[in-house]
């Protein structure tokens, strides 16, 4: 094999290795959530509620889906939102219209899942399984970060 051909193969392999892996099916996303976080069955409800609420600009529903304190990156600043009312009162300056549109268009089969949680809209919103007891046998899904 010529050095030029070997270099071309190595370059192609490197290029493909740095591309993000996209889930191919809802079943694969579900399995990945279950593998890394557990409670995958409970994810669909909050996910659907969030995408619908973002599409409607429903600050109250989005606030109810968040875990506080909630870190929000907006307007070149980082805000630590302490409670739902603070989020609702400042919703328009905390969640940009483009973020709302992107999250509203998010499909389950294109979610990215890693050990940090479930990423929506290329990182605009992260959701995580929040432990409700000491051994994390019971958990709920919540928004853990918003990045505009």
CATH class of 24-147: alpha beta
The predicted pLDDT at position 1 comes to 55
Q: Which of 124, 128, 103 is nearest to 115 (CA)?
A: 128
Residue 130 in this model has a pLDDT that exceeds 80: yes
Alpha helices in 19-147 (DSSP H): 26-37, 44-56, 59-64, 84-89, 91-94, 97-104
Distance in angstroms (rounded) separating the CA atoms of residues 37 and 76: 31
pLDDT digits (tens, 9 = 90+) for 57-109: 999 999 999 999 999 999 999 999 999 999 999 999 999 999 999 999 999 99
Per-residue burial over 17-44, b = 16 or more CB atoms within 10 Å of its CB, e = otherwise? eeeeeebeeeeebbebbeeebebbeebe
- Tokens, residue 113: 């899942």
Strand partners, 65: none
pTM over 0.75: yes
**Displacement of CA 93 from its chain's centroid (Å):** 20
The predicted pLDDT at position 58 comes to 99
pLDDT digits (tens, 9 = 90+) for 7-65: 444 444 444 444 444 535 999 999 999 999 999 999 999 999 999 999 999 999 999 99
């Amino acid at each position: 094999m010529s050095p030029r051909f070997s270099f071309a193969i190595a370059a192609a392999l490197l290029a493909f290795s740095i591309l993000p892996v996209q889930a191919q099916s809802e079943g694969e996303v579900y399995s990945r959530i279950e593998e890394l976080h557990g409670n995958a069955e409970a994810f669909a409800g909050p996910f659907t509620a969030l995408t619908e609420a973002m599409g409607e600009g429903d600050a109250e529903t989005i606030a109810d889906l968040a875990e506080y304190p909630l870190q929000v990156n907006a307007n070149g600043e980082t805000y630590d939102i302490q409670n739902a009312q603070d989020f609702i009162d400042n919703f328009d300056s905390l969640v940009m219209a483009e973020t709302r549109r992107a999250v509203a268009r998010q499909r389950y089969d294109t979610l990215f899942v890693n050990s940090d949680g479930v990423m929506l809209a290329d990182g605009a919103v992260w959701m995580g399984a929040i432990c409700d007891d000491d051994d994390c046998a019971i958990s709920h899904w919540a928004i853990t970060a918003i990045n505009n």
